[in-house]
Amino acid sequence: MKRIITCQGSIQLIAALSAMLYRDRSQSVKNYLVIYELYAPDRQHYPFAKFIQQMAESICKWEAIVYLTPEQLHEIGYQLDSTPPDRIYQQVHTWIGLEQTDELYLCRNWQFTNQLLSNAYPTASRICYGDGIGLYFSENSAVVRRPFTPPPTPNQFLDWTWWKARSAWHRIRERLKLKTKLYSMPFEVGYFVLPEIFGETPPMSIVKLSPDHLLTVFKQFTHFVDDTQIKAVQAAIANSPVSILLTSNFSEGERLSQTAEIAAYRAFLTSHPIPSKSVLVIKPHPRDDLNKIARLRENLSDLYQEIVLLTDPNLFFLPFEIFFLQAFQNNDVRVFAVSSACLSLKLLFNVPSFIGFGAEFVDRYFDPNFIEARLEHEQTLNHAIVQL
């Protein structure tokens, strides 16, 4: 049997491996790993992909590990409108080195490359492993929702007529196989740790993975953390109140400016009392701009006795849960989170989080087009934490 495991980040690799190992531990399976859409700024996506490859190689054997670069995906996306489907899918097969697969593991089925792979391997059993630690959310979720421009209405006669004619022209070309249209193909089964934590029910059969199973997978990567790094952090936080800030890639995703994001973090942290001689540990998101993190440290330096950045490559790209296992298990910490990263800390270690930024700071700092979705996401996260 052959199977393709897709991966869009290091935490997504954990979720994918959790599903894969639970489903089948057979040694006769040939595994292919495909990494893509890392959305890291500048050229950071290359070391990010390399680190994911190292993680994957440390846990099992792979027939091939392929990184589909942004340039490759942009080029093939540009070709869709003028290239027959068989040529597009043959290009995908060439990239991966596989014309047919029995199973295809995907984070979701509605992003470009997920659709590309689903359509290139239409006979494969499609298996969803969710996002993050094994969470389900649809393309309509506030987690990913972006501003939407609706099509013209009939009373906008010229625009509406052009839009209808253009749509008909594209449908004709699709039927004649003169262009390629990608479809969101349904999953057969999904493997999730928290399938309905965001208030959505996955539209497929569900296998619920236990937190213990997930924790076992995390523990297999603890060798990526150097003992000297653990000792350095533990020495920095010894005998001090400890806060941990888990950042996210908001400005990189154009939801607000970098300056506004830094100001929002400061406002979020100072909205809670900061004990004397506190130490702040900042764990960046793997898609964060490192220049932003350096600016953030400088901005917050007057608030804390010391600020520790987890920016060494093996800590920057590594899921925080793995470092937490090694360095913080015996410490009383306060966690400040702005994304679903807070869920695993509560689920696996019973460590709650302050969830930011709050309505006042979202209204003040975020782009107006993203305020509603951001506030909805924060409400969802707070509700999820309570459920755990």
CA distance 176 to 186: 24
Q: State phi, psi for 116 to the nearest 5 degrees.
A: -60, -45
- Tokens matching residue 166: 């253009």
Confidence of residue 229 (pLDDT cuts 50, 70, 90): very high
Percent of the chain as helix, strand, coil, to the nearest 5: 45, 15, 40
Return the closest-CA partner of residue 328 out of 261, 250, 262, 238: 238
pLDDT, average across residues 318-347? 92
The answer to which of 91-105, 118-132, 141-155 has the lowest mean pLDDT is: 141-155
Confidence of residue 24 (pLDDT cuts 50, 70, 90): confident
pLDDT at 97: 96
Angle at 173 between CA 170 and CA 179, to 5 degrees: 95
pLDDT at 348: 94
pLDDT at 180: 87
Higher confidence at residue 206 or residue 167? 206
Specify whether the backbone of 177 is left (phi greater than 0), alpha (psi in -120 to 50) or beta.
left
Confidence of residue 181 (pLDDT cuts 50, 70, 90): confident
pLDDT, average across residues 298-321? 96
pLDDT, average across residues 111-132? 95
pLDDT at 336: 97
Q: State phi, psi for 155 to the nearest 5 degrees.
A: -75, -15
The answer to which of 16-30, 95-109, 125-139, 278-292 has the lowest mean pLDDT is: 16-30
Confidence of residue 176 (pLDDT cuts 50, 70, 90): low
pLDDT at 156: 74
Percent of the chain with pLDDT over 70: 93
In sequence order, which residues have a C-beta less than 8 Å from that of residue 283 and are 6 or more positions away? 244, 245, 246, 247, 310, 315, 320, 323
Higher confidence at residue 177 or residue 344? 344
Q: Is 4:121 a contact under the CB 8 Å cutoff?
A: yes
C-alpha separations of 254 from 65, 69, 260, 349 in Å: 31, 21, 11, 32
Helices 70-79 & 112-120 angle (0-180, nearest 10) = 70
Location of structure tokens 């298990």: 329
Q: Does the pTM exceed 0.75? A: yes
Return the closest-CA partner of residue 301 out of 273, 266, 331, 276: 266
DSSP H or E run through 181? none
**146 pLDDT more than 90:** no
**170 pLDDT more than 80:** no
- Tokens matching residue 46: 């290359």
The answer to which of 42-46, 156-160, 182-186, 283-287 has the lowest mean pLDDT is: 156-160
Q: Is 347:194 a contact under the CB 8 Å cutoff?
A: yes
